[in-house]
Amino acid sequence: MEQMTGALFDAVLAVAVLTAVAYLIFFIRQNSGLRHVARMLMMVSGVLQLLYIFARFSRLGAMPLTNPHEAVVFFACAATWAYLTFRWRYKVKNFGAFVSILVALLLALAALFSATFSPAPAISKTLWLPVHAGLSLAAYSFFSLAFCGGLMYLLQERELKGKHFGYFFSRLPSLDALDQLNSHCLAIGFILLTMGIVSGSLWLWQVHGVYWRWGEKEVSSALIWLVYLVQLHQRFTVGWRGKRAAAMAVIGFVVIVLTLMLVVTPSGGAGIHGN
């Protein structure tokens, strides 16, 4: 079973890298045929990621979110499908190139962690833990889309500000479209993250009899929530938009990556939220 899932992950990583390469070549050459190929590869990549998660679920008998490898794969999968869902409703020029590179990097990071199966702890088989972890990582996926949109905004704004309509100007969407993307992804991500924290509190009560503990994982989740609460507050009450909002989206995602490394690192060998 481990050999089969290992081969499946190799396929997941290979297709994700191939997708990123296809999107990158399209971004450079702007060939419509390459864009179609890249989009198909992104869909295949998403399906393979789901199959890999399901294979680990079948082996463990619990949601595969108990170690760093599984958590980062789930993050990448959520980002892939968040993008595919987003693209179904909104057209953002060359957005896939940035998202595909981020997904490939996340899966490459997952490859650095051990994928060895170990018995899932009893607390991981409770209802609220997979709900909490799934919602939180889904929220991070939308924040990752905001991060990509923020990078695109800063690149486009730099060329416009310098009145140098060069390489990125013709390849990136308008600043208004990117700002709307930021707002959309930020709002959805914050709602999901709030639901994730609430379900995490319910899991703590179910397992430990308390709704909150001041552990490193709980504090890191609260920190991320506060960072994005500030962004939402500043955006919808003070009027932060444009370059400032894009920069905050980038900074917020950096905070997520740094704290995620803390959250997914096993504490005492117990795994994610396993202590």
pLDDT at position 41 is: 95
pLDDT at position 121 is: 64
Domain ranges of the chain: 2-263
Q: How many CB atoms lie within 10 A of CB 24?
A: 17
pLDDT at position 270 is: 41
Measuring CA to CA, how many Å separate 223 from each of 177, 219, 256?
29, 6, 9
Structure tokens at 211: 């709704």
CB–CB of 102/11 below 8 Å?
no
pLDDT at position 207 is: 78
CB–CB of 38/15 below 8 Å?
no
Angle at 131 between CA 127 and CA 134, to 5 degrees: 145
Distance CA 138, CA 168 (A): 29
The number of residues making up the chain comes to 275
pTM of the model: 0.84
pLDDT along the chain (275 residues), means of 10: 80 96 90 87 95 88 78 91 83 88 94 79 69 86 92 87 70 86 90 92 82 77 88 79 87 83 52 48
The single residue listed with the structure tokens 């709002």 is 187
pLDDT at position 264 is: 55
